[in-house]
Amino acid sequence: MDRRWLLAAALLASPPAAFSQEKPPLRWGTDPTGGAPYVYQDAGGAFVGFEVELADYLAGKLGRTSVMTKADWDKLPLLLDKPAGDADGIDVVLNGYELRDDLQKTYTATAPYYAYRLALVAHKDDDTLKNWADLATPRDGRKRSVGVLNGSAAHEYGKTRFGDRIELAINPDVATVMGLVEKKRLDATVQDNPAAAYFLKELPALKAVGDPRQPGFYVMYVRQADKELAAGLDAAIKEGLKDGTLRRIYQKYGLWNGDQEWLCYNQTGQWPADEDAGEAPDAGGKANPWPRMLRELAGAAGMTVFLSVASFPLAVLIGLLVALGRVYGPGWLGVPLGVYVEVLRGTPLLLQLYFVFYLLPGVVPVLTLSPLQAGILGLAINYSAYEAENYRAGLLAVPRGQLEAALALGMTPATAIRVVVVPQALRIVIPPVTNDFIALFKDTSVCSVILITELTRKYNELYNFNREYIAELAFVTAGLYLVMSYPMALLARHLERRAGGGKTHP
């Protein structure tokens, strides 16, 4: 393992230079993937949305700067578990989270900032779906499929209200679900009305079914210890409701309605002041987005390369040690090393990354890793199991006579293995190891689940806000993977040719 890689990894993973202001920034967590109108990117690439403006307003009231942190929606509360001031943690979950009993056990909920309802959305062509009750009637002899966000109020409502009379399709991304309904691959979706309203406008093939129902509150969640922050946010929300600030923000996105007037009365004891309606949100300029998108993709590709070249040498090193232990180590060592290999080969990389990043800090606080550290370590450990098997095969393929000849010269077993057996084993396994390197290169995409913006995640982000280029973006992204992996295959072939030097055994 080259120590420079470790050093580079540590440097990249260290937090950016802290602001030298008195108050720390207000770090709020959100998932901008398919997140309109909450948080999304406009045509110029800037993050906009009613929650962005709400966060800016709240941070301003608290005298702090607003810093947005991105993560998968259903993982946001886990980021609160990191200590305050942690570069990868957040102070507030602010992303259309409902008031939920389970979350209130662990975190403190603020006063509600928005009153939503559940809206039912279906395809215009579907005449069999005219109201909520129609959901329960089968269509063409099969249950209707209804897309919902994992863990959302709509998810809960679908389960309790309709039970097994509908087929719930769970997905983490509103834009994806709406797209599936548009293509008639789902019969309907239940979404909070802000998202429903946005996509009904964007996708003309969709229709609203029945009236929104089942009202609920959006709240923010903070750490239970952050009492001061919770009180400050509560006060700022109420003030914003009373003085019309929230109304202006919501009107800009077409989200102000009677429910919000009730929310204001409920929270402040006053009806909101009458004001002129704000302007509709800016449709965005017609600037060519490609230079920006290509720049962002290239940056993300750099991260993909970095993850690969930082993790693979580590995987090879661990793998070789495990293989040596299994082939030449004492008998008792074989069992734990065998378990190591089988567990890591037999469980998904995705779960292993979740474990390293989200769960390990709870078990061993010292191992609180940054996303990049966790990504590199997770990939290295996962692939070390495959490399261990490669090297084990390689070590066993070296003829027994090689070791005997080295021992007969008076080398110690360790020296004989190091200077005679291992070099030959390394040559034998170059083809499968190359193969694994290219596989790992593509598997870096799984790191997106632990907040690393690499190529695949960047593609997801971009196409959500540039749906007209969805095919072009996919081709460009796939092309980037290809132009990066092909030279690596060539390099490996070159190494093979150089190392081979004819037959490996007389």
Partner 1 sequence: MIRVSNLVKYHGTHRVLDGVSVAFAAGQVVGIVGPSGGGKSTLLRCVNGLERFQEGEVAVGDGLALAGGPGAPPRDTLLRLRRAVGMVFQQFNLFPHLTALGNVMSGPVHALKVPRAEAEATARKLLDRVGLADKADARPAQLSGGQQQRVAIARALAVNPAAILFDEPTSALDPKMAAEVMRVIDDLANDERVPTTMVIVSHDLPALRRVADALVVLDRGRVVYDGPAAGAPPGYLE
Task: Name the residues that contact partner 1, by CB under 8 A.
Answer: 399, 401-402, 404-412, 415, 419-420, 423-424, 427, 501-506
Report how far residue 353's alpha carbon sits from residue 445's, in angstroms, rounded to the nearest whole number. Answer: 12
Residue nearer to partner 1 on the CB measure, 405 or 489: 405
Q: How far is the CB of 378 from partner 1 (least distance, A)?
A: 34
Residue nearer to partner 1 on the CB measure, 142 or 505: 505
Reading the block at residue 312, the tokens are: 């693979």
Q: How far is the CB of 413 from partner 1 (least distance, A)?
A: 8
Residue nearer to partner 1 on the CB measure, 223 or 427: 427
**Which ranges of 347-469 does DSSP label H, i.e. alpha helix?**
349-354, 360-363, 371-397, 400-408, 413-416, 422-428, 430-443, 455-465
Q: How far is the CB of 420 from partner 1 (least distance, A)?
A: 6
C-alpha dist (Å) from residue 330 to 100, 324, 325, 402, 417? 54, 10, 8, 21, 15
Q: How far is the CB of 409 from partner 1 (least distance, A)?
A: 4
Residue nearer to partner 1 on the CB measure, 424 or 434: 424
Residue 178 near residue 203 (C-beta atoms within 8 A): yes
> Among positive and negative, which fits the CA dihedral 121, 103, 246, 27?
negative
Residue nearer to partner 1 on the CB measure, 333 or 409: 409
Report which residue type is found at 477.
Answer: T
Residue 373 near residue 305 (C-beta atoms within 8 A): no
Report how far residue 443's alpha carbon sits from residue 437's, in angstroms, rounded to the nearest whole number. Answer: 10
Q: How far is the CB of 317 from partner 1 (least distance, A)?
A: 20
Residue nearer to partner 1 on the CB measure, 159 or 498: 498
Q: How far is the CB of 494 from partner 1 (least distance, A)?
A: 17
In total, the chain counts a number of residues equal to: 506
Reading the block at residue 334, the tokens are: 């074989």
Reading the block at residue 410, the tokens are: 């008076």
Closest CA to 315 of 379, 374, 241: 379
Q: Which residue has the tokens 């090193």?
A: 317
Residue nearer to partner 1 on the CB measure, 219 or 324: 324
- Strand 26-30 with 40-41, pairing: unpaired
Residue nearer to partner 1 on the CB measure, 269 or 410: 410
Residue 74 near residue 172 (C-beta atoms within 8 A): yes
What is the helix (H) or strand (E) element at residue 66, kind and residue range? strand 66-70
Q: How far is the CB of 412 from partner 1 (least distance, A)?
A: 6
Residue 147 near residue 169 (C-beta atoms within 8 A): yes
Give burial (CB, 10 Å; 0-12/13-18/19+) of 16: exposed
Q: How far is the CB of 404 from partner 1 (least distance, A)?
A: 5
What is the helix (H) or strand (E) element at residue 169, kind and residue range? strand 166-171
Q: How far is the CB of 325 from partner 1 (least distance, A)?
A: 18
Report which residue type is found at 155.
Answer: H
Q: How far is the CB of 418 from partner 1 (least distance, A)?
A: 8
Reading the block at residue 35, the tokens are: 């997140």
Residue nearer to partner 1 on the CB measure, 5 or 328: 328
Residue nearer to partner 1 on the CB measure, 147 or 394: 394
